[in-house]
Structure 1
Amino acid sequence: MHKIITFCCLSMIATVAVNAYAQEDDSDLPEWAEEQIEPFRERVGNWVDNTSRRIDGFFGTDDYMQAENESYLRLGQELDWMEGEGVHAETTLRYRIDLPTSEERLRLVIESDPEESQGTLEEQGSGRLANDQRDRRSSTLGLDWLKSRDKRENWSNRIGAGVRLRLPLDPYVRLTSERLWQLGDSPWQLESNNRVSWFNNDGYSARTRWDVGRPLSERRHLRFITNVQWREEEDTLEYSEIAEINHRINDRSAIRYSAIALGESASNPRMTNYYLQTRYRRDIHKGILFADVIPELHFQRDVSYDPRWAMTLRLEMYFQREITRDYF
């Protein structure tokens, strides 16, 4: 599997270098590989969709077959290397079972890896979550109450409660609030995403994210992102500043250039890491199979800001009935 990931990622780099803007087919795979993948993807995707709808029908209304369902299963394989730390390999499984008709505004949701379990801002931003958070793998079962509002006009709020599925069971409560503003007549938009939560085993946590951006052209978008996070488990205020340019190369490829600064502590603020990141993402096969190449250059405080290279190679397959193309 590791050799397959490396081959796919190197192949897609060569593809984009030779044919960046040309019209392309919807797959890089040879015909024999498509014949193997398509039936398997369709069977698993239909199983995910049918299973979630049957559960939804048991708890919800007779509209469960017609309601939009966002359930998915995502299988990934990742190779991660950082200078001085060696290579790590990890297989990841992410899923979400969406039950939209349980009540008019009450949704029963089952999902893996809740946001609160995804570690520090550095772990979230560097793409090394799978390797650094093995002991945090968990699933949640809960009810989300949706206050249905257009976030361009009002604050859109979501209140959720449930349990983390591990022994002993870990109850939680979560409040999420979002808002989107158009800044006057300019092309700039400002988005705010905020979350406060409590888990019985981990205590309280809070996170706020402010994202301001604008299109630079039909294919390029500029963003500046500020994150602030506090978790009772760590009892440290963390913050990050990100400047990034997203470039849609063609219908199947995109690349992101990022400069990131990470810091911590409110009473004695200090920067802990600066790094440059490039993330190239390629739709290898029909919105189902994706590959990422993510090189990084880190300047970390704990090694006296000496430069350290890092590289992540990732291959992901999505299983759901309705295929959606996910870039970033």
Structure 2
Amino acid sequence: MFKCRLLASLLLLWLWVNNQALGQSDTTSVERDKPQQNPPATESWLDNWHSNFSESMDYTAQRLDEFFALADSDEHENARAEGRVRFGWEPRTRDLAAQDFRFRVRVKLPALKDRVDLMLSDDESYDRQDSIRAARDAVNENRDSTTLSLRYQEEQDSPISHRIGAGRRGQLFAKSQYESDYHFTDFLKMDYDAELYYYTRDQLGAELGLDFTYLLADEKYLRFNNRYYYRDRFEDWFWRHEVQYLRPLTQESAILYTFVTKGLTKPNHHLNEVYTSARWRTNYLRSWLYFELEPFVIWLRKEDFKPSYGVAMRFEFYYGRQ
């Protein structure tokens, strides 16, 4: 798994460095076709770096989409990349060296009528909410392995999507997903989804998700997340229940309280993990740059449910349309 993450880190770095060179030398570069504009004098090196990174990722997206474009078509020039990169240190008792690196890259392909997305991520669940590494859903070994896939949707707002790709210890997979929501009132909403997938070695798997969100006053909310995973290799179910309470502090910051329980159904219905935390998140410097501080306590069956105390420190940046 460490090798996969190292490879993914080097891939992201190579894309940025390589496209900086291509953007300067390729006479067909999109930037050469645009009027040159000098950045405002007030922009810092951080803003310039973020702008250059975003443009280089867009350039890569356009070159990928060009492969699918019809002759004499320039639709690929509208291709854009979006995503995020996160770095974190998550020391806890009995594991002071715990680190985390997460990334998401999504490329819309206009040459294919925006029905196909190219996705590169650090795990197989592109849109899944994050937690500390020690509390990730260990449904299958090395679930947090680099995944490359193509996702197809008939329409951009279609509830059904299909994916094919490679991930989870180098396995090929195919996945179908259905997701939607239902508003009971203006304050109570239900999100639900179902997934069915097949991996070449792990074989059949399925997931069911059911979330309830209740909006409170002053932009606060309560959320109840429930998720079930079926594992064909072990013929059992993995379950996860979570309660979240979000409290905004300022226009740029908020705190999220979380309580999670997880377990399995074989050899009997039992608890494997309990996890609670308070995550402070802010982006007061830039709209695309976030900092997080998350004190937490985790109890694991493999550690005889002895409490392990820790604190996660992260920074994360977004690029593209997100």
Shorter-chain TM-score range: 0.7 to 0.9
Give the partner amino acid of 1:243.
V
SS state at 1:39 partner = helix
Per the TM alignment, residue 226 of structure 1 is displaced from its structure 2 partner at its CA by: 0.4
Which of 65, 82, 90 is equivalent to 1:80? 90
Q: Rate the CA distance shift 1:212–1:312 in 2: closer, same or farther, 3 A.
A: same
Give the partner amino acid of 1:160.
R
1:58 aligns with 2:67: yes
Give the partner amino acid of 2:161.
R
Partner residue in 1 for 2:279? 279
Partner residue in 2 for 1:174? 175
1:261 aligns with 2:222: no
Per the TM alignment, residue 284 of structure 1 is displaced from its structure 2 partner at its CA by: 4.3
Per the TM alignment, residue 42 of structure 1 is displaced from its structure 2 partner at its CA by: 0.9
Which of 132, 144, 152 is equivalent to 1:145? 152
1:117-266 counterparts in 2 under 5 A? Answer: 125-128=131-134, 136-142=144-150, 144-148=151-155, 156-164=159-167, 170-183=171-184, 185=185, 187-233=187-233, 235-265=235-265
Partner residue in 2 for 1:290? 290
- Taking the aligned partners of 2:191 and 2:264, their CA distance within structure 1 comes to 23
User: Per-residue displacement from partner, 1:164-200 (whole Å, max 9, x unpaired)?
Assistant: 498xx632211010111112x4621111022111121
Compare 306-315 and 232-241 and name the one that shifted more. Answer: 232-241
Give the partner amino acid of 2:316.
E
What's the RMSD between the two structures over aligned residues? 3.3
CA contact (8 A) 2:104 2:126 kept: no
Per the TM alignment, residue 318 of structure 1 is displaced from its structure 2 partner at its CA by: 2.8
Per the TM alignment, residue 162 of structure 1 is displaced from its structure 2 partner at its CA by: 3.3
CA contact (8 A) 2:124 2:146 kept: no
> Where does structure 1 lack aligned partners over 5 or more consecutive residues?
1-32
Percentage of pairs with the same residue: 15
Partner residue in 2 for 1:317? 317
Partner residue in 1 for 2:99? 89
Per the TM alignment, residue 158 of structure 1 is displaced from its structure 2 partner at its CA by: 0.4
CA contact (8 A) 1:102 1:108 kept: no
> Where does structure 2 lack aligned partners over 5 or more consecutive residues?
1-41
- Taking the aligned partners of 1:241 and 1:135, their CA distance within structure 2 comes to 19
Q: Rate the CA distance shift 1:110–1:41 in 2: closer, same or farther, 3 A.
A: same
Q: Rate the CA distance shift 1:136–1:213 in 2: closer, same or farther, 3 A.
A: closer
Per the TM alignment, residue 242 of structure 1 is displaced from its structure 2 partner at its CA by: 0.9
Q: TM-score, normalised by structure 1?
A: 0.72
CA contact (8 A) 1:293 1:314 kept: yes
Per the TM alignment, residue 232 of structure 1 is displaced from its structure 2 partner at its CA by: 3.5
Q: Higher relative CO (CA 8 A, sep ≥ 6), structure 1 or 2?
A: 1
Q: Rate the CA distance shift 1:93–1:302 in 2: closer, same or farther, 3 A.
A: closer
Partner residue in 1 for 2:7? none
Partner residue in 2 for 1:5? none
User: Per-residue displacement from partner, 1:202-234 (whole Å, max 9, x unpaired)?
Assistant: 322211111111210132011111011123355
User: Per-residue displacement from partner, 1:21-50 (whole Å, max 9, x unpaired)?
Assistant: xxxxxxxxxxxx972211111111111112
Partner residue in 1 for 2:26? none
- Taking the aligned partners of 1:290 and 1:189, their CA distance within structure 2 comes to 27
Between the two proteins, the alignment pairs up a number of residues equal to: 275
Q: Rate the CA distance shift 1:72–1:275 in 2: closer, same or farther, 3 A.
A: same
Per the TM alignment, residue 75 of structure 1 is displaced from its structure 2 partner at its CA by: 3.4
Give the partner amino acid of 2:147.
S
1:112 aligns with 2:102: no
- Taking the aligned partners of 1:103 and 1:253, their CA distance within structure 2 comes to 39
